């Protein structure tokens, strides 16, 4: 494998792993926990490192994951005092832990290779240099094993506990009633998130971990309503962003982690704008259609209301109809055109008359507004 391929594989594995656990954070309104956990693993990393863990040892990963879970526990303990709100609790805990980690690094670990910049920003470009040697054989870059391990862990956890996670995410009360422990699953999920963050930071850095956990999941949620689709879709979008980011970084000779975060943003923006049902444009179009439908129905109701009355002639004259409806002429012209096309209306000289289809549309509205036997019904029709 070339270093290029290796870097992309590492990034894809990390992105997919982050997207899987991140999906549950997004669904559970805990996206900022990703930010908090990813920052708060720093002191864990440093302490484990100082205890003789050395970079890349299991102790380091364990320490980091532990401090991630501790962060969540601390945030929740603070919240439970009812003296601060959730957002404040998050904002209090993780900067303090991160600051503590920075102090530890600069006090005790300055002479060794533990660079806060690297923790924050990742060093994906150098990842292929550190090899995994098993029984004297080079079996690939270490980071690939770590990120791949995180991916396997995520896939396993999500597929084994799919039903439980789904239930706890969408209806925690029902889950509790059915005998699942929301607390246990919650902390299980937090452990998964911390472990994933720790495994990925080595390759892509802490800030990108946040982007990879939140961005693809948020984008995928605009595309589907089904969790079973959402998870692989998020992983796919994450992997796509990772590969695109790699090439963007190559192109500009820029930070790979930074470029990947940018690509996560771009992918989200694309989905946000063009998603078939929930995208910005689709919403706009739907809104416009609804407006036209509503205007047409309103016109039909107006005409039906005055059909056969003394003021019918006055109320259906094309030249003055917009005044009765408080519309501008443009809107009337467009609505009349829609109505004629639909076969709801016909023109007779300067007057607008209802066809049967239009009349029955108006009746439907009346029937819906005044169901039989309730209150006042309009006198006509």
Partner 1 sequence: MSEALQLLWTDYTLRNVAAGTAVLGAVSGALGCFAVLRRRSLLGDAVSHAALPGIVLAWLLTGSKAAPVLVAGAGITGWLGAAAVSALARRERIREDTALALVLSVFFGAGLMLLTVVQGRPDASQAGLDTFLFGQAAALVERDVLTMGAVGGVAVLVLALFWKEFKLLSFDADAAAVAGYPVKLLDHLLTLLLVVAVVVGLQAVGVVLMSSLLIAPAAAARQWTNRLGRMVVLAAVIGAMSGALGAAVSGLAPGIPTGPAVVLAATAAFVVSLLFSPSRGLVSRRLRAAARDRRLRSEGDAS
Q: With respect to partner 1, which residue has the nearer C-beta, 22 or 358?
A: 22
Q: With respect to partner 1, which residue has the nearer C-beta, 108 or 327?
A: 108
Quickly tell me which residue has 């995994």 as its tokens: 132
Q: Is 124 in the site for partner 1 (CB under 8 A)?
A: no
Q: 376 is written with which tokens?
A: 């006042």
b (16+ CB within 10 A) / e for 117-136: eebbbbbbeebbeeeeeeee
CA distance 278 to 293: 20
Give, as ranges, the residues between 257 and 276 that touch partner 1 (CB under 8 A). Answer: 257-262, 264-265, 268, 272
DSSP-derived secondary structure for 59-117 = HHHHHHHHHHHHHHHHHHHHHHTTSS-HHHHHHHHHHHHHHHHHHHHHHHSTTSS--HH
Q: With respect to partner 1, which residue has the nearer C-beta, 47 or 336?
A: 47
CB of 128 to partner 1, least distance (A): 19
How many residues in total does the chain contain? 381
Alpha-carbon separation of residue 51 from 44, 63, 106, 108, 120 (angstroms): 11, 10, 16, 11, 21
CA geometry: angle at 148 spanning 182 and 194, to 5°?
Answer: 35
Q: Candidates 99, 228, 287, 323: give the one binding partner 1 (CB under 8 A).
A: 99
CB of 228 to partner 1, least distance (A): 17
Q: With respect to partner 1, which residue has the nearer C-beta, 42 or 299?
A: 42
Q: With respect to partner 1, which residue has the nearer C-beta, 91 or 188?
A: 91
Q: With respect to partner 1, which residue has the nearer C-beta, 53 or 215?
A: 215
CB of 145 to partner 1, least distance (A): 25
Q: 288 is written with which tokens?
A: 């416009």
Residues 24-63, mask of contacts with partner 1 (x by CB under 8 A): --x--xxxx-xx---x------------------------
CA distance 43 to 46: 5
Q: With respect to partner 1, which residue has the nearer C-beta, 38 or 316?
A: 38
Contact 25, 214 (CB under 8 A): yes
Which range binds partner 1 by CB under 8 A, 5-13, 106-114, 139-147, 332-340?
A: 106-114
Give, as ranges, the residues between 194 and 223 that touch partner 1 (CB under 8 A). Answer: 207-208, 210-211, 213-215, 218, 221-222
CB of 106 to partner 1, least distance (A): 5
Contact 20, 230 (CB under 8 A): no
CB of 347 to partner 1, least distance (A): 40
CB of 78 to partner 1, least distance (A): 8
Alpha-carbon separation of residue 256 from 159, 210, 261 (angstroms): 30, 15, 9
> Which residue ranges make up the site for partner 1 (CB under 8 A)?
26, 29-32, 34-35, 39, 78, 81, 83-85, 87-88, 90-92, 95-96, 98-100, 102-103, 106-107, 110, 116-117, 120-121, 207-208, 210-211, 213-215, 218, 221-222, 248-249, 252-255, 257-262, 264-265, 268, 272, 278, 280
């Amino acid at each position: 494998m070339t270093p290029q391929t290796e870097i992309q594989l590492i990034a894809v594995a990390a992105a997919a792993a982050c997207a899987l656990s991140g999906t549950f954070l997004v669904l559970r309104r805990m996206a900022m926990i990703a930010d908090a956990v990813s920052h708060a693993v720093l002191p864990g990393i440093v302490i484990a490192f100082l205890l003789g863990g050395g970079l890349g040892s299991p102790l380091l990963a364990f320490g980091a994951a532990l401090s991630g879970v501790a962060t969540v526990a601390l945030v929740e303990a603070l919240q439970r005092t009812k003296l601060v709100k959730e957002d404040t609790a998050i904002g209090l805990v993780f900067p303090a832990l991160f600051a503590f980690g920075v102090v530890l690094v600069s006090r005790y670990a300055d002479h060794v290779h533990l660079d806060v910049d690297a923790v924050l920003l990742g060093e994906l470009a150098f990842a292929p240099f550190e090899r995994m040697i098993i029984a004297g054989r080079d079996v690939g870059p270490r980071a690939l094993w770590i990120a791949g391990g995180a991916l396997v862990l995520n896939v396993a956890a999500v597929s084994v506990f799919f039903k439980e996670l789904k239930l706890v995410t969408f209806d925690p009360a029902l889950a509790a009633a059915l005998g699942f422990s929301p607390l246990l699953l919650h902390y299980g999920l937090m452990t998964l998130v911390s472990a994933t963050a720790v495994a990925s930071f080595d390759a892509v850095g802490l800030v990108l971990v946040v982007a990879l956990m939140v961005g693809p999941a948020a984008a995928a949620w605009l595309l589907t309503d089904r969790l079973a689709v959402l998870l692989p879709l998020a992983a796919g979008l994450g992997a796509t962003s990772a590969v695109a980011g790699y090439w963007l970084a190559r192109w500009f000779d820029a930070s790979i982690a930074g470029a990947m975060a940018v690509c996560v943003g771009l992918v989200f923006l694309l989905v946000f704008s063009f998603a078939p049902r929930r995208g910005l444009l689709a919403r706009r179009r739907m809104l416009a259609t609804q407006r036209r439908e509503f205007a047409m129905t309103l016109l039909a109701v107006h005409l039906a209301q005055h059909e056969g009355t003394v003021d019918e002639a006055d109320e259906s004259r094309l030249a003055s109809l917009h005044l009765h409806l408080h519309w501008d002429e443009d809107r009337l012209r467009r609505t009349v055109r829609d109505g004629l096309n639909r076969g709801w209306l016909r023109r007779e000289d300067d007057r607008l008359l209802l066809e049967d289809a239009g009349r029955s549309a108006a009746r439907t509205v009346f029937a819906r507004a005044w169901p039989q036997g309730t209150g006042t019904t309009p006198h006509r029709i």
